[in-house]
Amino acid sequence: MKIAIIGTGSIGKMLGRKWAEAGHEVMFGSREAVRAQAVAAEIAGTMGGGVVEAAAFCEAALLAIPWYAFTDIERAIGEGLDGKIVIDCINPLKSSGSLAIGHKWSAGEEIARTWHRAKVVKAFNHIHVKTFENPVYDGKKATAFYCSNDDDAKTAIVQLAADLGLAPVDAGPIKNARLLEPLGALWMQLAFKLHHNTDLAFLLVDRE
């Protein structure tokens, strides 16, 4: 699959590297193309360019950006992601660390509303970069919850999560991003406020 990584932070770099290692074609995109090109130079088999170029290249795009940057990214890309899969891993946080929106609305729904011709799926927002490096805890794969209104997006995210060594779990329609984004906030509370370390993940355990 041709994947655009929109953003050059730690999560974007990690997923871009892992997916490239799994055999996907990966292009990093940034509003400053030189930043994406610098990241690509560090990661074998990847490319870098501007966000418009990355959007045109891809079949699926990962939004690995701060929530406050979404409006500028959306304006830059415009209709460039129409008909394509958009993976939203954003936690819409304020500077205080609390959610800017949540429970009654979500970043996932806002992105799906704004890019209504794209296939938006919420995923990976509750998983730390350390987990992507080693997703197995006591012999069990960390859970990757995802939600979307689009079957194609769900099928793609199952494979992409499996490529990362995670256990994908369908969490329903995109409106359930209202639940997954607070889950991401809970992870941050556990890791940074309640004295757990950052090498922790959620596991969904079913009885046989």
Q: What domain range includes position 42?
A: 2-193
Cα separation, 48 vs 93, in Å, equals 27
Cα separation, 150 vs 118, in Å, equals 9
Q: Nearest Cα to 123, choosing from 96, 95, 142?
A: 142
> Would residue 105 count as lying in a domain?
yes
> Would residue 83 count as lying in a domain?
yes
The CATH code of the domain that includes 89 is 3.40.50.720
Question: What would the pLDDT profile of 60-77 be if each residue is shown by its tens digit?
Answer: 999 999 999 999 999 999
Percentage of residues of the chain with pLDDT beyond 90: 89
Chain-centre distance for alpha carbon 202: 16
Q: How many residues are there in the chain?
A: 208
pLDDT of residue 193: 85
Question: What would the pLDDT profile of 77-106 be if each residue is shown by its tens digit?
Answer: 999 999 999 999 999 987 777 788 877 899
pLDDT of residue 158: 98
Single-letter amino acid code for the residue at 67: W
> Would residue 35 count as lying in a domain?
yes
The answer to whether the pTM exceeds 0.85 is yes
Confidence of residue 207 (pLDDT cuts 50, 70, 90): confident
Cα separation, 186 vs 126, in Å, equals 8
Task: Determine the average pLDDT of the residues in 123-139.
Answer: 96
pLDDT of residue 6: 98
> Residue 120 in contact with residue 86, Cβ under 8 Å?
yes
> Would residue 77 count as lying in a domain?
yes
Coil, helix or strand at residue 146: strand
> Would residue 206 count as lying in a domain?
no
> Would residue 70 count as lying in a domain?
yes
Coil, helix or strand at residue 76: helix
Place of tokens 């940057």: 69
Residue 12 has pLDDT above 80, yes or no: yes
> Would residue 78 count as lying in a domain?
yes
